[in-house]
Every structure is written in C-alpha cells, then in structure tokens.
Amino acid sequence: MESSRERIPLHVGGKAGPTRTARPSPRSSMGRARGMSLCVLGSGSGGNCSVVRFDADEHRGLGRPSEEAGAGQAQAILIDAGFGPFTTRRRLEQAGLTLDSLAAICLTHLDRDHWRGNWKQTTLAKRIPIYVHRWHQKSFSRLPEGADLIEAGLVRPFGDTFSPIDSLEVTAVHLPHDQKGTIGFRLDYHTGPSRVSLGYATDLGAAPPELIDRFSGDGGLDLLAIESNYDPELQSRSDRPAFLKRRIMGELGHLSNEQSFQVVRGIMDASPTGCPRWVVLLHRSRQCNHPDRVREVFGRDDRLAGRVILTDQRRRSAWIRLEPRAAVITAQQCLFDGPKRIENREAESA
C-alpha cells in the first residue's frame, strides 16, 4: 500500500542541479548548537563519503561549526573517503567545512569507492588519522600508500569500539560483504547529560541480528543511514555480467530496496518509539535503481513518511542536524511529505 500523502518533488536522483557554493545557514554558524550533524558528500558505486560534524562549542578543541573555524580546529570526521581529496574538499567547502576541519577518517572497508589512495599526500600533510578495522589492517598495509601511512603513524586499527574525538564513542558492527566484510558504525556523541546517536551501514549483503540490536538498543538512534542499493528487477534486466549480478544480489553483496526496507522496519520495531527520527538511504545504484522504486517500497510503511532522505552520487545532501531527541533538517530533501513540514530555508544544494 502506498502512502497517500501528498508528495514533494525529489531533489535527488535525476539530473544534478546547478553547483553553487552554499553558505552555512545562520543557525549552523551561530556556534551555540549542540549535537551532531550528517552530510552525505556523495554516495554510490562511483564513490562514498559522508561527513559528521560535531556541533558543541563548549567541546574542548572544537571550533565553531562553520567556515569560521580556523585551521587545525578539528570538528568533523569523514566516514569513508571514496572521492579524492580535491572533490572532497570542494564538497566540504560547499557544506561550510574545510579539510582542516577533519579530525579523522573512519573506513567501512577498503573498496575503491570507499577509500582512494590519492588521499596519501593530504593525510600526511594534514596529519589526519585513518581508522581501519583490524579485519582490514593487513589489506591496508598492502596498498601502495599503506606502508607510508602506517609508518607515519596515521593508521589507527580499531576493534569493537574506538573514540576518534572527545565525547564520541564509535561502536563497530561486523557486516557480511565480499571476502573481508565491511564495518557498520554506531556513533554516540555525548553532549552534557544527553547524547545523540547515529547508525551507518553500507555495503552489506545481509543484516545480521547484531546490527538490529546495536541500532535499536541503548535508546535507539536519532538517525539511521543505510544502503538501499538496487531494485531486483532492474538488476536482473541490466546488461551487467551474470557473475556481477550474482555477487551484488548474494549474501555478500548489497541490500536491495526491499531488504533495506525490512532492516529499517526491524530496527524501528525494536527501537523506542520515534527512533530513528531520520532514515538516510545510501549507495543507490544509478543503473539498477530509481527513486520511484525506492519510494514505492518505503512508502508501504506510514511510519516512514517524512523521515526518509535520499542521497546522490554527484552532489552532497543537506545537513541533517541532530540534537538530543530533536532533529532539524535544513533543506527540502525528504522522500515523502511528512506530517510536519520540513524547513526549506537553506537553498540547497551542490
């Protein structure tokens, strides 16, 4: 059953809009906000990179969450670096940040659409630590840039939990994908007595029970970012080689729209009421998926109305700001029209 709610136009998935430099919204440049924000700089098989910004001006060592933050004032981390530094810097600047804002790069896995070796010079010059799961440590050391980055002390292997900046606790969830698997992240950012939580899972052939537990337990998530990679019919009809279709649709491949929907519902069912407040869909295939197909699937659950946000390969998403148990989205990028009108003040996007 499809949602009968009036739809708003999608600003993603089709032809990319004009690129323009976005100024931080007045709200985001005030420096008083406390919480965590996500901006997906781009997502898809051509590259994946998201930036998480920490909006706590009383946070030691953190600057104001805007371009006012000077060099060295680390205030954000990247999840994956699947675009080179040039593209990443451009999209970061459009989002009001610079490469100097980066306190860490956290990698889900080492596929080329998640880590680009041409980050070597930039990470060395700016001393940006790269968090690599123990599973991927050996593979990283064999990359052409691996030895130099390890020798420079920039590669930080992690296990079940790690903390790339103060007040942030990251929990790793092991996910099945190809030979080495991929890592899902739960980020819990402590702001005073409260906390905001974000879950991030991409490139998984299936969702193990642990993922549902981690993402629904301990108060649930404010935001869930998860891949919704392909539509099975479009995948089967595509002219891709049979082995590739089998890989993608297999247990060690990617989540289809339907599989992703079921995982999202599983997490919602097991979560405290109202969690997650936002669902951000990642890694949509351009060849084997379409926003309409995604809408058809996710529109079957009314709880998701007004919560689902699509991302795009070629341009960044809006900032999604999470405050303790309150979320504000600063641009119109929602998949459905929700019960509450979303704000549309920040002329997005780029």
**Residues of the shown chain interacting with Zn ion in the complex, contacts defined by CB under 5 A:** 113, 203
- Rounded least distance, CB 203 to Zn ion, Å: 4
| Cβ atoms of residues 101 and 75 within 8 Å | yes
- Rounded least distance, CB 52 to Zn ion, Å: 18
Give the residue among 239, 250, 350, 242 at the shortest CA–CA distance from 287: 239
How many CA within 13 A on the CB side of residue 231?
17
- Rounded least distance, CB 216 to Zn ion, Å: 24
- Rounded Cα gap, residues 95 and 213, in angstroms: 32
Token digits for 252? Answer: 């060690």
- Rounded least distance, CB 29 to Zn ion, Å: 33
Of 113 and 346, the one with the shorter C-beta distance to Zn ion is: 113
Q: Is the dihedral of CA 155, 159, 163, 169 positive or negative?
A: positive
Phi, psi (5° rounding) for residue 70? -85, 180
* Nearby residues of 196 by Cβ (< 8 Å), 6 or more positions away: 35, 36, 188, 189, 222, 322, 323, 324
Cis peptide bond N-terminal to 193, omega within 30: no
- Rounded least distance, CB 105 to Zn ion, Å: 16
Of 76 and 201, the one with the shorter C-beta distance to Zn ion is: 201
Of 91 and 109, the one with the shorter C-beta distance to Zn ion is: 109
Of 82 and 96, the one with the shorter C-beta distance to Zn ion is: 82
Of 249 and 329, the one with the shorter C-beta distance to Zn ion is: 249
Give the residue among 31, 1, 9 at the shortest CA–CA distance from 337: 9
What DSSP designation does 115 have?
A: B
- Rounded least distance, CB 48 to Zn ion, Å: 6
- Rounded least distance, CB 202 to Zn ion, Å: 6
- Rounded Cα gap, residues 51 and 41, in angstroms: 7
Question: Which 3 state secondary structure label does DSSP give 96?
Answer: coil
Of 115 and 336, the one with the shorter C-beta distance to Zn ion is: 115
